[in-house]
Amino acid sequence: MILKRLGMAGAMILMAGSVAHASVNKASWGKTAGGQAVEIFTLSNPELAVRITTFGARVVSIETPDRNGKTADVVLGYDNVAQYEADRDTYFGAIVGRYGNRIAKGTFSIDGQAFHVPTNNNGNSLHGGTVGFDHKVWTGREIANGVEMTLVSPDGDMGFPGTLTVHVRYTLEGKSLHLDYSATTTKPTVLNLTNHSYFNLAGNGKGTILDEVLTIPADRYTPVDAGLIPTSELATVAGTPFDFRKATVIGARIHDANEQLKLAGGYDHNFVLNGAPGVLHLAGEAYEPLSGRTLTVKTTEPGVQFYSGNFLNGTKPGKFGVVYSKHSGLCLETQHFPDSPNEPAFPTTVLRPGQTFHSETVFSFGVRN
């Protein structure tokens, strides 16, 4: 036996080495309507296979096994670049920015100077304006166990100040997909980056996520107004349908007579995580009982947006022609809070020259028997 000859220490070294390695393959993935070449990277190890495209630095697919070893793709998306480019609403799998989530009326100030971003969502700016990072072609570069995506957003892009250089590193480590974000700017700006993957742990196109079980370690959340802009309040989740501190079936309370649920058509709210910002901490756990698949999300961010796919309506056929109806996927978008540039009491999203923004998020997959 190899393990007997090496002893326990040697065995651990072998195991660590096998976990660390992932293969990385790059291929052409067509062109945008404007003629820009798009690439797709496939990251794979014995535990996971992930495809990431340079169009929007998007996660296109994540294949992971169920409790019986049967593999399925557990994220929503499309089959080609043209479909992603035509979709301005869902943000499937994309890195969104320069400011993920909403800015009220597309207006904010830094050091007394006002800035304006195009509005694209009920009179507000959503995910960076009319042409956000999700519709940019990033530069992809193979790195150890993954790919680094880079985007340079020029000064004035969508009204945001400063030339912003963003790097997002996707790497595979065992059963986990790690996202490492960094950014620098030439002028004071605001920044809120996240990944907008929609997960369905039963598999892409396998019904809704209403029977999945969710845990979010948050004592408070940020209620919203009719435009889904935070009201400034940090409200307690206790006694409300927003209390996911104990594992709860997503569909158990989603149709409750609750004004916040009515405003969003379900869950589309920022949760104030209990963990310390800047330190990797738990953001959420999801479990799909039939397949046994689990998803654990950890982050250094102060919040997570739980979105229950309320605005999916079956009008945009997805992979292999699958129809994505309401609640076909869930998002756990690690982030700073929505509209933080207009909320002085929220954690700041201002990035200044000489500073380097850094954030980490980890998506880990497993099974329960």
The catalytically annotated residue of 196, 269, 327, 336 is 196
* Residues 6+ away with beta carbon under 8 Å from 212: 201, 202, 249, 250, 286, 287, 288, 289, 330
Q: For 5, phi and psi rounded to 5 degrees? A: -65, -40
The catalytically annotated residue of 148, 212, 333, 343 is 333
Which helix (H) or strand (E) element contains residue 118?
none
Which amino acid appears at position 99 of this protein?
Answer: Y
- Model pLDDT for residues 241-280, shown as the tens digit of each residue: 999 999 999 999 999 999 999 999 999 999 999 999 999 9
Which amino acid appears at position 12 of this protein?
Answer: M
pTM across the whole model: 0.94
- Asked if residue 4 has pLDDT above 50, the reply is no
| E strand spans, 45-163 | 49-53, 58-65, 71-73, 95-96, 102-103, 107-110, 113-116, 125-126, 139-143, 146-153
- Asked if residue 65 has pLDDT above 90, the reply is yes
- For residue 302, give Cα distances in angstroms to 155, 280, 291: 27, 10, 31
14 pLDDT band (50/70/90 cuts)? very low
> What is the residue-wise DSSP string for 17-70?
HHHH--EEEEEEEEE-TT--EEEEEEEE-SS-EEEEETBTTEEEEEEEE-TTS-
* Alpha helices per DSSP H over 61-166: 81-86
Which helix (H) or strand (E) element contains residue 360?
strand 357-367
316 pLDDT band (50/70/90 cuts)? confident
Q: Active-site residue 327, yes or no?
A: no
Mean pLDDT of 286-295: 98
Which amino acid appears at position 255 of this protein?
Answer: H
- Asked if residue 2 has pLDDT above 90, the reply is no
- Asked if residue 8 has pLDDT above 50, the reply is no
From the centroid of its chain, how far is CA 85?
18
**Mean pLDDT over each residue of the chain, to the nearest integer:** 94
- For residue 201, give Cα distances in angstroms to 22, 307, 353: 23, 15, 41
6 pLDDT band (50/70/90 cuts)? very low
Q: For 151, phi and psi rounded to 5 degrees? A: -140, 135
The helix/strand/coil state of 33 is coil
- Asked if residue 16 has pLDDT above 80, the reply is no
Write down the pLDDT at residue 19: 56
CATH number at 23-367: 2.70.98.10
Mean pLDDT of 58-73: 98
Q: Is 137 left (phi over 0), alpha (psi -120 to 50) or beta?
A: beta
- Model pLDDT for residues 184-242, shown as the tens digit of each residue: 999 999 999 999 999 999 999 999 999 999 999 999 999 999 999 999 999 999 999 99
Which amino acid appears at position 253 of this protein?
Answer: R
Q: Any idea which residue has 């062109």 for tokens? A: 31
Write down the pLDDT at residue 3: 31
Q: Active-site residue 63, yes or no?
A: no
Domain boundaries, the chain: 23-367
